[in-house]
Structure 1
Amino acid sequence: MDKFLEKVAVEILQDHGHNDTNLIVILPNKRSEIFLKNYLKEKTSGTYWLPDFYTTDEFIVHQSGFNLLDPILIYFELYEIHKSMQCDKAMPIEDFLSWAPMMLSDFNDIDLYKADADHVFKHLTEAKAIEQWNLSGAPLTPLQSDYVAFYRSLYSYYCELKARLATRNLGYKGMIYNFLSENTSILTEKLKDKKFILIGFNALSTSEKKIFGYIKDHFNTTFYWDVDEYYIYPEKTGLKQMEAGRFINELIREWKLSDIKWVSNNLKTSKKEIHIHGIAKQIGQVKFVSQQLSEWKTDVCEIDTAIVLADESLLLPLLHSLPEKTGNAKKVTFNVTMGYPLYNSSLSRFIMQWLNFISKSEERSSGKYDTIQLINLLKNPITKLVFEDDKLKYRNALTADFTNSNLVYLSEKDIKEIILTYEQPTLQRFFEILLIKNEDVPGFLDSLIELMQWVAEVVSTRYKNSNSLLEAQIDVTYSIVKKVHAMLQSRVHVFGLQALQKIFIQLFRRSEISLKGEPLTGIQIMGMLETRNLDFKNIILLSANEGIIPKTSEFESFIPFDIRHDNKLPMPKDKNDI
């Protein structure tokens, strides 16, 4: 059976030749772009001028003329708006950062799905006012009045944020998409004589539908899909519309497409060998993968094999469990196409523990430190890394000393007295950094940068480039810390350590450690969405459990479901259908 992207590569070469400089190819993600480029290379023997390749996000941002702004910076912008609107009643930045992400998410949805923002927020305000209405006719309490006033102010936040960003040619995703969908004539002016190939489009927002619908109507455009009759022609099997094919069917119907490339019947007709294994607990699953690979006796084409993680938190346990050889003693290689979440790393946990340790101390009038928090810091793998192997006994002895002190809180003097008894420069240097009184954010960040440089030095000396995961973890975290340090210098007066904690949480959750490898060799380890447009002969799917596929998660929004439904904003079901 021919692979989807391989078939696309053949058609591109047949229809457009080797030197079509006006061709633009748009795909959902980078992974499918890499594979398509490789197939084009394999199908050509001489010089070939590649088309322009974009993901959907890259194309829209590039053509809009706007720059996509980091969400953290947008939260700061929203807080500036909040201060200008509330004046003396403005809440502290650490409280505001708790719900700024939800506000931005709602603004993003409104713009992506081209809802009438004025109507949405007016409807929302009226609904919240009815909730607080007293049947007795009694006036609202100050708390109730503030509650309704907040919802009434959301439209002002929305308008002011867009106005501020637009003056600097900046925007968030929904704002940029909506702008281009309202100014599609830009595409005609900038992309004259261009031809488009759109591959594997599925769940598009209203703004995206309008943009790519315009491209379909005004440019030479070819669509390619890898779909099965079971999903887009359910009437042939006497079934209702399958959720997984709903979005593609909507695109075909709305764009009035007739010649659909390509619809197969592989789900029912192709030969498949499926094994289902019930395995207890997550660690059991990754150990089973290792066992399965080790027992495979036949030659397995690595590039045709994928391990798909429906639960991406299994990545690190899986990496530690993979075998070096298959059952026929053949060395096996792996390529990780997904990033390891930085939020789960030992270094990010250490930073959050340290921040909590310092901030809680400053909250106490005595300024003393929590003994349990201090012991947890000593047990963190990063602390273990800082101390050389022959110094680990001192770390363990320190933990025992702090425990045996039977004190809930320890003063800085108490801690230093214990440290001095060991007469170890490494211990003294570590605690000088750890206990420094940093009442201002830049001071803490300076100490954090010093500690991270120390950790990087230890890793470089001890592992000599043999621990790439730890080195990547340090590099990514260090770049985030430096970014925050530069970002906060002009805003010191409004930030405390609690606000810094929330900023780090946001950044760590959105950041990943890129596990660099050769993307076109080895068994591919990937998440569910990364498999789009790709074909494999052998697939091992982990965590095929209810609650994982589809994933259950809280849907955080200020806009309730009934108002979302009325304004055609995305609902939890839409995410499940994807």
Structure 2
Amino acid sequence: MVSFISGVLKELISSKENISETIFILPSKRAGSFLLKELSALGEHHIFAPKVYSIEEFTEVISEAKTVDNTITLFEFYKVYKTITPEEVQEDFETFTAWAQSLIHDFNEIDRYLIDYKKFFNYLADIQDLKHWSIQEPKTELINNYLAFWKSLPAYYEGLKKELLSNKTGYQGLIYRLASENIATYAQKHRSKHVFIGFNALNTAEQQIVQHLLENGLAEIYWDLDEVFVKDHQHDASLFINQYLKDWPVYKEKQAKLQVDEYHKPKNIQITGIPKNVGQTKYLGELLANLDEETLQETAVVLGQEDLLLPVLNSLPPNVKDLNITMGFPLKNAPIASLFDRLFQIHQNTGSAYYYKDVISVINHPALNEILKKETEVFIEKIQSKNSVNLSSEEIINSFSVEAQALIKACFKTWDNSPYKVLEAFQQLINQIKIHLKSSDNKLALEFLYHFHVLFNKLENLNETYPHLKSIKSLYQFYKEIMSTQSLDFQGRPFKGLQLMGMLESRALDFKNIIICSVNEGVLPSGKSGSSFIPFDLKQTYKLPTYKEKDAVYTYHFYRLLQRAQNVHLLYNTETDGLNSGEKSRFLTQLEIEKQPAHQLTHAMVSPKVPAIKNELREVKKTPEIMEKIKSLAAYGFSPSALTSYIRNPLDFYRQYVLGVRDSEEVEETVAYNTLGTVVHDSLENFYKPLENKLLTAEDIKAFKAKIEEEITFQFKKSYMNGPVNQGKNLLIFEVAKRYLRNFLNLELDRLKTEEIKILKIEENLRSEINIGKLDFPIFMRGKVDRVENTNGITRIIDYKTGKVTQDKIEIVDWEDLASDYDKYSKSFQVLAYTKMIQDQNLLDFPVEAGIISFKNLKSGFLKFGKKDKPRTKNKETAINKETLDAFEIELKKLITEICDPEVPFTEKEI
């Protein structure tokens, strides 16, 4: 395969052209590097290397001015804006940037296409005057301000242009306009031959430069487009070149350098649909794994989306030993970038205290965690034990050692909304991390850190030169703006091994084997994107590029890549989990419809193998060690809640009581249900404990009601620690706790009207032995009963529940079901267990009733345990007698025997 650049050089050498004196202009620097490589391979004698420019560099040479980036342009524009706009209507910098970015882009387009800005902006202002919705006279202040903005555009343009040119600088479009104005002067001074190679979509300024040099015999331009497309005037790939062939005066007298006849030759084109972007990268890895070293040398991987770079690098097979990456690694994807981003967000949104999750997210960041190590764990345990939701700057800093405090201060010392303090803190943070990384010899992390150091230096310089950044928010906006353009360049051998590039980097380059990823609508071509103040019809009137022209640019690059390639793989994403995704590109459909006779075109769908996963219930066999733990638990005493957890799921019992695995302690932002339950239980214990073995009176209840606020406040402070209860959901839950107590005490007052209540036990610890003949080790049951009382001569065993419990949840039909269905019978099991333990301690006088008082269902009063003969019948026995407890004991012993049986594994229950 003879590449396009090689073909051009061969033609120039054969025509005896003095290559050393020739000036070459190409679309990109990369294409220029390839030209010099090809030239060194073709030259038979030693020669001096010619001058090689990218088109941007060439316009700088002609204009004698330097291009400045978008950030500098924006700062300069704000300076101009402040001098032109009356002070009373000036916007702050943050508001200004919201619209100025788009306006600079439009200025750039106007200059690149050499449009008379005065006529253009007057036309635009008239359009906006017609479009606004207000028809009343006189116009409102809002409408007057709106129209004044559009009328100010010429002044903004002139002011910005004057300011930039005074320093011999300009944004890209301005440099292009200046170059087109200076081309005659340049041509008089430089009589060397200029060769333009591989161009397609030229703006008006570029066209004027090229045409002037062509007409004066100082240039040649070599177009790279196959005759298949040139002859097809409807094909977007030839949109621009056919237009130049038709409109340029020079082509009325001479033939264009356009003799490409490659596209019709045999090609193997494989179109493959793959779900997800990561699926494409994995499939790409499989394709590359089948290529030998020589084939890889002639292969290019073109990424439609920049975000695919990291997944592709992680998917490369071992046989790819040499790799040249043309596109840079976006700095925003560096691991440490998330730390700076997080700190910006925290300080931007934080008042006097820091939210604990924000603090943890910072100190747990890998860059800091490696330095702080155990101190991070100690700090997290401290705030969890104290239940600290909001933390002051001093509290955070003082929680760390003196050695770590410099690092912590850089993160959490108050910035006072000052950009200077932000940048100072970040540089301190970078220095602290650098010391650690040097000792650990992490070269890649140090490289990332160095680029952030350079970035923050740039922000410091900008902030000193242009004091427009007044807040953390405005600095953060610019940090993100600069980050979006910063990249880490890869080092490698530019002409050896596999080539990995973006679509624009492929300009003027040719490869035998091509793999293009993300050939989807919205990616290739990119579709209707980009912000602009210029309406579509105005763009058409002034021949500015619209989305149609932008699509034609992508069409040209796509088909140009295919021209000389012999093996082509086109991958697209089949998934529909976002806008425009899942739809293959129109380019693929075009390839199928316009198929050349010699092309072998195949289409395939690829999907990963997904093995069927059987959800088998897990089980744990009882080893001797587990049996020893169970015996230890039995000797200590099984609680009703432990036994019901076994009924719910034996594996839960195994994890919680055998292994001793508890849920990790976390900061409780919103009062949890169990905390609310603890507050209510402990409050009632404090009220009623002094009344044990006494009759309850209405005076007692009234005294309790007077203390509700004080008691609830005390209990929340004890159970909820430093958690805030004076705002948000917690304030509501605080009020709910007070309401629960008030309603319960009102229920007690109502009962006292008809009942005599004697308090027997409050929060009494119970323990009794269970004799099971089959087991040769002691077994106990233990628990704490909430309340035992005597009501009109009947003993009542009461369990408080802050959740909602209904009567049907504390009734039973068949005793055999008691230890099998947690949802239906767990409440019955608990109250019967308490009753059984009280009986074993000889504290029980029959008749007995046991049941629940549900604070969410207080209107139902005391919910008594009941034994029914048949389901869905109203007849039930609520009095608990010895026969009832004997029947319960049988089921209890069965359950404990199963738990203690070494032959019965802990088997997961299907939920």
Q: 1:88 to 1:346 in 2, by over 3 A?
A: farther
Q: CA deviation at 1:304?
A: 0.6
Residue 267 (structure 1) aligns with: 263
Q: Secondary structure at the match of 1:222?
A: strand
Q: CA deviation at 1:336?
A: 0.4
Within-5 A mapping of 1:155-194? 155-191=154-190, 193-194=191-192
Q: CA deviation at 1:232?
A: 1.1
Question: Where do 5+ consecutive residues of structure 1 fail to align?
Answer: 235-239, 326-330
Residue 241 (structure 1) aligns with: 234
Within-5 A mapping of 1:115-130? 115-130=115-130
Farther off after superposition, 350-359 or 210-219: 350-359
Q: CA deviation at 1:78?
A: 1.5
For each residue in 1:483-521, what CA deviation from the matched residue of structure 2 results, as whole angstroms up to 9, or x when unmatched?
Answer: 111221244475221111111111111222111111011
Residue 392 (structure 2) aligns with: 411
Structure 1 letter corresponding to 2:174: M
For each residue in 1:84-128, what CA deviation from the matched residue of structure 2 results, as whole angstroms up to 9, or x when unmatched?
Answer: 213132111122122221111111111111112112211221222
Distance 1:483 1:34 in 2: 29
Residue 243 (structure 2) aligns with: 250
State which of 310, 317, 341 in structure 1 corresponds to 2:330.
341
Q: Does 1:430 align with 2:407?
A: yes
Residue 742 (structure 2) aligns with: none
Distance 1:519 1:504 in 2: 31
Q: Secondary structure at the match of 1:301?
A: helix
Asked whether the equivalents of residues 441 and 492 of structure 1 are also in contact (C-alpha less than 8 Å), the reply is no
State which of 255, 272, 277 in structure 2 corresponds to 1:282.
277
Asked whether the equivalents of residues 8 and 222 of structure 2 are also in contact (C-alpha less than 8 Å), the reply is yes
Q: Secondary structure at the match of 1:266?
A: coil
Distance 1:404 1:563 in 2: 66
Q: CA deviation at 1:54?
A: 0.3
Q: 1:540 to 1:494 in 2, by over 3 A?
A: closer
Residue 316 (structure 1) aligns with: 310
Residue 30 (structure 1) aligns with: 29
Residue 328 (structure 1) aligns with: none
Q: CA deviation at 1:556?
A: 0.5
Q: Secondary structure at the match of 2:534?
A: coil
For each residue in 1:554-576, what CA deviation from the matched residue of structure 2 results, as whole angstroms up to 9, or x when unmatched?
Answer: 32011111222212222122111
State which of 288, 292, 296 in structure 1 corresponds to 2:287.
292
For each residue in 1:126-148, what CA deviation from the matched residue of structure 2 results, as whole angstroms up to 9, or x when unmatched?
Answer: 2222222534x343332222122
Within-5 A mapping of 1:213-252? 213-234=211-232, 240-252=233-245
Distance 1:149 1:485 in 2: 35
Distance 2:552 2:378 in 1: 55
Q: 1:186 to 1:457 in 2, by over 3 A?
A: farther
Structure with higher Rg: it is: 2
Structure 1 letter corresponding to 2:220: T
Distance 1:492 1:401 in 2: 42
Asked whether the equivalents of residues 324 and 333 of structure 1 are also in contact (C-alpha less than 8 Å), the reply is no
Farther off after superposition, 49-58 or 271-280: 271-280
Q: CA deviation at 1:203?
A: 0.6
Distance 2:197 2:95 in 1: 43
Q: Does 1:15 align with 2:4?
A: no
Q: CA deviation at 1:394?
A: 4.3
For each residue in 1:66-87, what CA deviation from the matched residue of structure 2 results, as whole angstroms up to 9, or x when unmatched?
Answer: 1222321221121122222131
Q: 1:233 to 1:158 in 2, by over 3 A?
A: same
Residue 62 (structure 1) aligns with: 61
Distance 2:44 2:381 in 1: 69
Distance 1:230 1:405 in 2: 76
Structure 2 letter corresponding to 1:473: F
Residue 551 (structure 1) aligns with: 526
* Percent of aligned pairs with the same amino acid: 29
Residue 197 (structure 1) aligns with: 195
Residue 301 (structure 1) aligns with: 295
Q: Does 1:513 align with 2:488?
A: yes
Distance 1:550 1:396 in 2: 50
Q: CA deviation at 1:537?
A: 1.4
Asked whether the equivalents of residues 335 and 523 of structure 1 are also in contact (C-alpha less than 8 Å), the reply is yes
Within-5 A mapping of 1:100-115? 100-115=100-115
Task: From the two aligned structures, give the one with the greater strand fraction.
Answer: 2
Q: Does 1:355 align with 2:344?
A: yes
Distance 1:341 1:480 in 2: 13
Q: CA deviation at 1:201?
A: 1.0
Distance 1:401 1:311 in 2: 45
State which of 355, 370, 391 in structure 2 corresponds to 1:388.
370
Distance 2:289 2:485 in 1: 35
Q: Does 1:39 align with 2:67?
A: no
Structure 2 letter corresponding to 1:430: L
Asked whether the equivalents of residues 304 and 535 of structure 1 are also in contact (C-alpha less than 8 Å), the reply is no
Farther off after superposition, 252-261 or 547-556: 252-261
Structure 1 letter corresponding to 2:429: L
Asked whether the equivalents of residues 303 and 522 of structure 1 are also in contact (C-alpha less than 8 Å), the reply is yes
Higher relative contact order (CA 8 A, sep 6+): 1
Structure 2 letter corresponding to 1:24: I
Asked whether the equivalents of residues 181 and 207 of structure 1 are also in contact (C-alpha less than 8 Å), the reply is yes
Q: 1:141 to 1:338 in 2, by over 3 A?
A: same
Residue 355 (structure 2) aligns with: 370
Task: From the two aligned structures, give the one with the greater helix fraction.
Answer: 1
Asked whether the equivalents of residues 419 and 469 of structure 2 are also in contact (C-alpha less than 8 Å), the reply is no
Q: 1:397 to 1:144 in 2, by over 3 A?
A: farther
Farther off after superposition, 299-308 or 27-36: 299-308
Q: 1:493 to 1:222 in 2, by over 3 A?
A: closer
Asked whether the equivalents of residues 228 and 264 of structure 1 are also in contact (C-alpha less than 8 Å), the reply is yes
Q: 1:110 to 1:404 in 2, by over 3 A?
A: farther
Q: Secondary structure at the match of 1:274?
A: strand
Q: CA deviation at 1:372?
A: 3.6
Q: Secondary structure at the match of 2:272?
A: coil
Distance 1:396 1:33 in 2: 55
Asked whether the equivalents of residues 303 and 501 of structure 2 are also in contact (C-alpha less than 8 Å), the reply is yes
Q: 1:227 to 1:404 in 2, by over 3 A?
A: farther
Distance 1:530 1:319 in 2: 18
Structure 1 letter corresponding to 2:32: E
TM-score by length of 1: 0.89
Asked whether the equivalents of residues 469 and 475 of structure 2 are also in contact (C-alpha less than 8 Å), the reply is no
Q: 1:398 to 1:311 in 2, by over 3 A?
A: farther
Distance 2:184 2:195 in 1: 19
Asked whether the equivalents of residues 181 and 210 of structure 1 are also in contact (C-alpha less than 8 Å), the reply is yes
Within-5 A mapping of 1:468-479? 470-479=445-454
Distance 1:210 1:404 in 2: 74
Q: CA deviation at 1:324?
A: 1.8
Distance 1:141 1:251 in 2: 49
Asked whether the equivalents of residues 386 and 458 of structure 1 are also in contact (C-alpha less than 8 Å), the reply is no
Farther off after superposition, 182-191 or 206-215: 182-191
Question: Where do 5+ consecutive residues of structure 2 fail to align?
Answer: 554-911
Residue 93 (structure 1) aligns with: 93
Q: CA deviation at 1:340?
A: 1.6
Structure 1 letter corresponding to 2:241: I
Q: Secondary structure at the match of 1:273?
A: strand
Distance 2:171 2:454 in 1: 22
Q: 1:352 to 1:314 in 2, by over 3 A?
A: same
Structure 2 letter corresponding to 1:437: T
Q: Secondary structure at the match of 2:510?
A: coil
Q: 1:299 to 1:203 in 2, by over 3 A?
A: same
For each residue in 1:369-417, what CA deviation from the matched residue of structure 2 results, as whole angstroms up to 9, or x when unmatched?
Answer: 23343333345xxx3123337x545445655665776665432134235
Distance 1:185 1:23 in 2: 19
